[in-house]
Amino acid sequence: MKSWAVQDAKARFSELLRAADKAPQTITYRGQPAYEIRKIDSVLQGKKPMTLVEALKLCPTVPEFELPPRGGSHRKPPDFGED
């Protein structure tokens, strides 16, 4: 996997994309790996987008919990400075 500085990736973008066809490419920012460019698999390209319901079904379930009961009017009425 080749590593590209941001300015090089920007200047040689077409070359970066051609290289990403063969293997993932890393773009560094201030010397640290920051981004990875890779080609999308052809299997994923033909897949229809997931609906919200399908995505929620994939989410892990959490144990049931109960919300504490809400108190009635235990709050002090606001002070508007009236005497």
Give the pLDDT score at 72. 65
Cα Rg of the chain (Å, integer) = 27
Residues 42, 21: contact at Cβ < 8 Å? Answer: no
The reported pLDDT for the residue numbered 46 is 66
For the chain, 83 residues long, the average pLDDT of each consecutive 10-residue run is 91 94 93 90 68 84 74 75 72
Q: What is the 3-state secondary structure (H, E, C) of the chain?
A: CCEEEHHHHHHCHHHHHHHHHHCCEEEEECCEEEEEECCCCHHHHCCCCCCHHHHHHHCCCCCCCCCCCCCCCCCCCCCCCCC
Q: Where are the domains of the chain?
A: 3-58
Write down the pLDDT at residue 83.
Answer: 61
3-58 topology per CATH: YefM-like fold (3.40.1620)
pLDDT at res. 66: 76
Residue 64, pLDDT score: 75
